[in-house]
Amino acid sequence: MTATVSTEPEVAPTVREEEPPPAEEAAKAEARASSQALSDLLAPARPSITAGVILQVFGSIATIAPYVAIAELGKTFLAGGEVDRARVWWICAAVVVALLARTLLSGAALSVTHFADARLQGIIRTRIVERLGRVPLGWFTQNSSGLVRKATQNDINDIHYLVAHGAVETTAAITVPLAGLAYLFVLDWRLALVGIATIPFYLVAYAVMARGMTAKMLEMNQGIARISATIVEFVSGISVVKTFGQAGRAHAAYRTAATRFGDAYGAWVRPMLRTDALATIPISAPAVLLVNLGFGTWFVREGWVSVVDVVTAALVAMSLPAAIMTVSFGMQARREAAAAAKRITDLLATPVLPEPADPRVPTSAQVRFDGVGFSYDGQHKVLRDVSLTLPVGTVTALVGPSGSGKSTLATLVARFHDVDEGSVSLGGVDVRNIATDQLYRQVGFVLQDVQLLHATIADNIRLARPDATLDQVRDAARLAQIDDRVLALPRGYDSVVGDDALLSGGEAQRVSIARAILADPPVLVLDEATAFADPESESRIQTALAQLVGGRTLLVIAHRLASIVSADQIVVLDRGRIAETGTHEELVTADGVYARMWRAHQGQADSAVAGEGETR
Amino acid sequence: MIRQLRRVLGPEHQGRYTRFLVWATVYGVLQGLAVSLLVPIARSLAEGDWSGAWRWIGVLAIAVVCCGIAHYIQAMRAFNVALVVLRTMHLNIGDHLVTLPIGWFAGKTGSVAQIASKGTMAAGGAAAHLMTPVVIGIAAPASVTVSMFFFDWRIGLALLVAAPLIALAARAAAGLIARSEHAAHEAAAESSERVIEFARCQPVLRAFGRTSDAGYPPLTEAIATQQKVARRTMVESVLGLALNGVAIQLVFTALVVLAAALALGGDLTGIDLLALLGVATRFVQPVSEIGEFGGALRQIRGELTRIQNIMDTRPLPEPTRPATVTAPGQVEFDHVGFGYEPGTPVLDDLTFTVPPHTMTALVGPSGSGKTTITRLIARFYDVDAGTVRVGGIDVRDQTTEDLMAQLALVFQDVYLFDDTLRGNIRLGRPDAAEAEVDEAARLAGVTEIADRLPNGWDTRVGEAGTALSGGERQRVSVARAILKRAPIVLLDEATAALDPENERFVQRSLQTLREHATLVVIAHKLSTVVNADQIIVLDEHGRIAERGTHDDLLARGGRYAAFWHERSSTRGWRLEAARP
């Protein structure tokens, strides 16, 4: 319930196998939603895309020019009599100009859209960042980093194709054949019809193939997701299965899954591919040539058209179908981009933490829970009817078995989530009525999951007070028992975390403590994470943590009973309820849950000190 | 890339791949030839030779049928090759991964899983869809060029000269574009990383006043840099595209001028000029397309290289004649030296023996090699010097199965399968009776977890990933180890002691395990250290500083004693420590 980013890779990816086969309708509705999402997301780039498309239209027209020029050359030579030399060279010059124009126009079109894409990526990233800055902190603990990663890396890339290439390339794919077709009609309407005669065969075959394809694609994608999950689990778990001598079994299961997937994949794709292979034959260049020359020979014989026209028409007709292929390829990319856009817009629609309309300023550092009830999923209550007051300047320790709601309760003070029932208040003001930045000026936390930024050690420590001097930073670091370690780094306080400052868990912990010491918030939530470091480091962490005590309202999520015996107030949680509250002496006397825990703890400690060797 | 795919496919599928390449080539050649037939047909038409024209059209019709057949066959073969590539890679990678040392996987599982799942799909698809246009892009223009020599050797020669020029320009252009795309990609990746960091560290950023209004400078900077780089690389990209375009134009213009000059000189008829130039346009297109595939080809080559790198990793050598255990439950280090990187030793000349049915506690600062010792016992890695013996036999003379059968591991990184809670425990010994599973679960405190979960024992832990805390995972791992009843147990107490409750279960489990097994524990609890039959104190350099029982070491007054006194005096931080 504290941020569990570090444990993420240990969770095997979930694949929902029991999902009913999605109806075609549902798939289409999904596609429509994606399409709408895409159009909203692309809005800022729209004018540039339009400009790119217009440039490309002219570029496409210029593409046809060489064919026209060759035809004119042919005609000039076949005209009989003395060849008009000047005309020949003018036509050659026209070819050069047309080709140049095409390159310039297409280049300009792509440049415009690429610029637009770069700008759009910035806009989307900024929007994501703005959103993330306002969603509840609790959201970040629930596998959200995967979502953000996918959105900012893969999804933005998928959209890149659409913005930077898609529209312009599709335009080229459509306008080039249209211009060609128009030219064919200028030559002769019969030639024009023959030129596109084979395309219907392809379209019919394609339509047959496309029937039920959306659902089929979905099924196939699920298959791919499943095999990927199997592979991921096999690879991630291989060391475990090996250590239990189960490698053979897991390996066999993997082989079966891989073989089965190969068969299924073949069964999905082969029929589609067969239709596609057959459908593209009629629009292949040789077939188009055959049809054009066949009919052309007849037309010439009837005296309807000239030989030059037939040959020119055949040449132009051969270049038409290529466009269709580009368009159908573009459709796939568009679908992917649409799905990516949907994921990004979903991310951008994450509910934000409501900001108070009329924010109030807390008057003290007293924290109060009043009848608090909370659940993560709306079903299983994690906290029930918790009422508790943390007086100013006192230490309150939360104890209880894992899963009892300690961490959840503590993070509610920092408004990681909003409560379902009751209220959490700071200085007499409900935390929901305190402006976020104001709240975090009052409430700090040091959590188990140490979050260090990819920045210098000094900047990490002075996070809350960017204007702190190096001396102040070092004072805090000294109190947190990390100063000497930082000085031993290659660049001291200028070493960058993750680059040349490679810290152990315990050291990172101490840097985060130094950060809290420097920030000095009036209310501090502290997760007493220990025991994952080595013993020597552990005692230093404890010394460091001790620096945070005193002068503030402290809420400690305690794991070691020995450290909290002198807390002003110990709160024992059990299954989301407060089981007991009191000082150490009171609770031991009360002989309840805490007393039992304490005795168990004492037993260990005593035997350890006595060196006898029996534990209970 | 053809070579790389061949290597991936291995000898048994080579023939299939070659046949696909042959058919694709045949298709390309036929296509070029068919289009070239335009020239004789146009000539016949211009001369009014109708029977000649129909004869040639008949030839064209045959060519079209052949083309159609070749196209269909090569398309289906391409797909078959793709399937074979996909399946072969899946199986080969799987077969190879099980032979690799466990240590190799450390920190790599994510990327290996990516390569094995996404990389294989991409490479399989490329085998089919990318190779075809590339092969045709070479074969078709080649056959056009050859047939041109029959019609007009001068135009043929011009094409022959032009082909490498276009290919070179396309290559250069692709290189320019790739470079700029790479730079743009780097900048985009950096800004993505910053966004992800911003999300990951949101609690801390907010707690310390860096809300979105105040801004987080590294992020804003990264986004700004990305914009700048993108604009700069755009220029390079456009230059690349222009270069490609200009090369094709130059060639085409030269052809037009050459043809026009020839025609003016009377060496070429008008209809020949038209037909030859027309066919030549069909030549230019596929050649320039090869350049466009450059980016995709490079990407696939990258995937194939990554796959190959996995396949090239040396497997853990398995003994040809495995030895049988002579001293069950015993672990020995005999002058062991080891380092993860050459030149930075982690363990140095380490010698000790863990007798059967004893408990040894490993103690020392972080980086002293405690974890490495346990990894070497389980042969995650092979030693650089000396010998590790488990059960009296060098671990290198045992099969992985035999070695692992002697060991139960409870380490920090607990991997739970997307299976039920019970299924995850049962992994310890799949043929264990239900009652034994229950008993192991009870001892390790998994029963309490099951009671708390909505679906109890049948809760799938993959789905309940968030419901199980680190400590609870550890308990499942302990239960597995208890169930396994291995003669030697390696245990890292670190995360096991997260809270008093876990601590209780782990201590209880340790007692149980101790009755049957030899224990090697990376100790964090005082009680464990004190109770150990042998304490090994390591120093920062991976050497043994001291060795003995608690009382021995205390009496010696060395490093351990100093540590012990400091520890007993602070014994847990006290909340009042820094109060005024």
Highest mean pLDDT among A103-117, A198-212, B68-82: B68-82
d(CA B504, CA A402): 13
The answer to whether A239 and A23 are in contact (CB under 8 A) is no
| Residue A54, pLDDT score | 93
Q: Closest Cα partner for B353 from B167, B488, B246?
A: B488
Residues B367-394 have a mean pLDDT of: 90
Whose tokens are 């980013």? That residue is A5
> Any CB–CB contact under 8 A between B183 and chain A?
no
Beta bridge partners of A399: A572
d(CA A573, CA A562): 17
| Residue A9, pLDDT score | 34
Query: Which of A130-139, A393-402, A473-482, B288-297 comes out lowest in average pLDDT?
Result: B288-297
Phi, psi of B460 (to 5 degrees): -80, 125
Res. A141: pLDDT tops 70: no
What Cα–Cα distance (Å) separates residue A12 from each residue in A148, A228, A259, B105, B368? Answer: 19, 12, 21, 16, 32
List the 169-208 stretch of A: residues with Cβ below 8 A of B: none
d(CA B33, CA B217): 63
Structure-model confidence comparison of residues B574 and A523, the more confident one:
A523
For the domain spanning A367-582, the CATH number is 3.40.50.300
Res. A288: pLDDT tops 80: yes
Look at the alpha carbons of A481, A487, A493, A498 in this order and tell me if their dihedral is positive or negative: negative
Residues B422-451 have a mean pLDDT of: 87
Residues B78-98 have a mean pLDDT of: 86
Q: What is the pLDDT of residues A441-486, one digit of tens each?
A: 888 888 777 778 888 899 889 887 888 899 999 999 998 888 988 8
Res. A1: pLDDT tops 50: no
Beta bridge partners of A523: A443, A553
| Residue B37, pLDDT score | 92
Chain A residues with CB inside 8 Å of B228's CB? none
Highest mean pLDDT among A133-137, A415-419, A475-479: A475-479
Q: What is the pLDDT of residues B398-428, one digit of tens each?
A: 988 888 889 888 876 677 777 788 888 888 8
Which residue stretches of A133-155 are H helix? 144-150
| Residue B278, pLDDT score | 85
| ipTM of this complex | 0.74
Residues B25-42 have a mean pLDDT of: 92
| Residue B360, pLDDT score | 93
Instruction: Classify B321 as helix, strand or coil.
Output: coil
Res. A262: pLDDT tops 60: yes
- Order of strands across the sheet that contains B544-548: B407-410, B488-492, B518-522, B359-363, B534-538, B544-548
Query: Which of A319-323, A405-409, B420-424, B485-489 comes out lowest in average pLDDT?
Result: A319-323
| Residue A19, pLDDT score | 42
| Exposure of B322 in the CB half-sphere (CA atoms within 13 A) | 12
| Residue A41, pLDDT score | 84
d(CA B433, CA B288): 68
| Residue A18, pLDDT score | 40
Place A604 in a pLDDT band, splitting at 50, 70 and 90.
low
For the domain spanning A37-187+336-353, the CATH number is 1.20.1560.10
d(CA B428, CA B434): 13
Whose tokens are 């009652």? That residue is B435
| Exposure of A50 in the CB half-sphere (CA atoms within 13 A) | 6
Query: Which of A162-171, A512-521, A588-597, B544-553 comes out lowest in average pLDDT?
Result: A162-171
Q: Which is it for strands A367-375 and A421-426: parallel, antiparallel or unpaired?
A: antiparallel
Res. B318: pLDDT tops 60: yes
| Residue A299, pLDDT score | 92
- Order of strands across the sheet that contains A381-390: A381-390, A367-375, A421-426, A429-430
Of A249, A269, A310, the CB nearest to B45: A310
> Any CB–CB contact under 8 A between A272 and chain B?
no
Query: How is residue B236 written in tokens?
Result: 């390079």
| Residue A13, pLDDT score | 36
What Cα–Cα distance (Å) separates residue B161 from each residue in B22, B87, B211, B247, B453? Answer: 26, 42, 64, 13, 75
| Residue A532, pLDDT score | 40
Highest mean pLDDT among A61-65, B372-376, B562-566: B372-376
Place B566 in a pLDDT band, splitting at 50, 70 and 90.
low
A32 min Cα distance to partner chain B (Å): 27
Beta bridge partners of A571: A398, A581
d(CA A75, CA A89): 14
Q: Cα dihedral angle (A238, A242, A246, A247), rounded to 10 degrees?
A: 60
The one-letter amino acid at A54: I
Query: How is residue B193 written in tokens?
Result: 């990383």
Res. B500: pLDDT tops 80: no
The pTM (predicted TM-score) of the whole model is: 0.71
Q: Closest Cα partner for B484 from B413, B408, B558, B423?
A: B408
Query: How is residue A494 written in tokens?
Result: 């200028």
Every domain of chain A and the residues it spans: 37-187+336-353, 367-582, 583-616
The terminus-to-terminus CA distance of chain A in angstroms comes to 30
Residues B445-449 have a mean pLDDT of: 84
Chain B residues with CB inside 8 Å of A601's CB? 500
Cβ-Cβ contacts under 8 Å for B478 (sequence gap 6 or more)? B410, B444, B491, B496, B505, B506, B509
Whose tokens are 């007499």? That residue is A428
Beta bridge partners of A348: none
| Number of C-beta neighbours around residue A207 at 10 A | 10
User: Which of A5, A76, A129 is the mutation pick for testing B, counting most B CBs within 10 A?
Assistant: A129
| Number of C-beta neighbours around residue B224 at 10 A | 12
Query: How is residue A547 written in tokens?
Result: 């620096």
What Cα–Cα distance (Å) separates residue A437 from each residue in A129, B43, B206? Answer: 16, 84, 8
Residue of B nearest to A611 (CA): B530
Structure-model confidence comparison of residues B500 and B263, the more confident one:
B263
The one-letter amino acid at B549: T
Phi, psi of B132 (to 5 degrees): -55, -60
Residues B505-524 have a mean pLDDT of: 84
> Any CB–CB contact under 8 A between A76 and chain B?
yes
Whose tokens are 């637009």? That residue is A116
d(CA A168, CA A55): 9
Place A287 in a pLDDT band, splitting at 50, 70 and 90.
very high
Q: What is the pLDDT of residues B247-306, one digit of tens each?
A: 877 888 888 888 888 888 888 888 888 888 888 877 776 776 666 666 677 777 878 888
Place A5 in a pLDDT band, splitting at 50, 70 and 90.
very low
Q: What is the pLDDT of residues A75-84, one digit of tens each?
A: 888 877 777 8
| Exposure of A569 in the CB half-sphere (CA atoms within 13 A) | 17
Query: Which of A315-319, A368-372, B217-221, B358-362 comes out lowest in average pLDDT?
Result: B217-221
- Cβ contact A12–B418 (<8 Å): yes
Q: What is the pLDDT of residues B540-564, one digit of tens each?
A: 788 999 999 989 988 988 888 877 7
A104 min Cα distance to partner chain B (Å): 8
User: Percentage of chain A surpassing pLDDT 90?
Assistant: 14
Listing DSSP states for B449-479 in one string gives HHHHSTTGGG-BTTTTTTTS-HHHHHHHHHH
List the 387-426 stretch of B: residues with Cβ below 8 A of A: 400-401, 404-405, 407, 409, 413-418
The one-letter amino acid at A117: D
Q: Closest Cα partner for A454 from B107, B213, B201?
A: B201
Give B331-570's CATH code, choosing from 3.30.420.40, 1.10.260.40, 3.40.50.300, 3.40.50.720: 3.40.50.300
List the 333-362 stretch of B: residues with Cβ below 8 A of A: none
| Residue A278, pLDDT score | 86
Cβ-Cβ contacts under 8 Å for B52 (sequence gap 6 or more)? B40, B44
Cα A193–Cα A198–Cα A200 angle in degrees, nearest 5: 95
